[in-house]
Amino acid sequence: MQKLKKWLAWLSVFVGGLLAASGVVFVVMYVWEAIIARLGEPDQSLVFWYLPILFLGLIACAGGLKLLLRGIQQIRSMSSGDT
């Protein structure tokens, strides 16, 4: 049972890190494509239409960080219990 908990903690660290990194990529993609690439153009509607990409990135980043920190906390609690 202890081995399963350790495996799940490491899995949550990996998935959380991957989710947080993909969230950051989505936020950067929004900033680059909707704001920077459109500077000087009269039609700025993509700032509005690309908002789901920004929100998806923010939600993924927040959820990934929460999962990552929870996994790290579980690993630390298991390692302090083993010594």
Share of the chain above pLDDT 90, in %: 77
Distances (CA, A) of 57 to 22, 60, 62, 63, 83: 7, 5, 9, 10, 39
Query: Rounded to an integer, what distance in angstroms lies between the CA atom of residue 5 and that of residue 25?
Result: 30
Segment 6-29 mean pLDDT: 96
Per-residue model confidence as pLDDT tens digits over 36-66: 998 888 888 989 999 999 999 999 999 999 9
CA angle 24, 67, 52 (to 5 degrees): 40
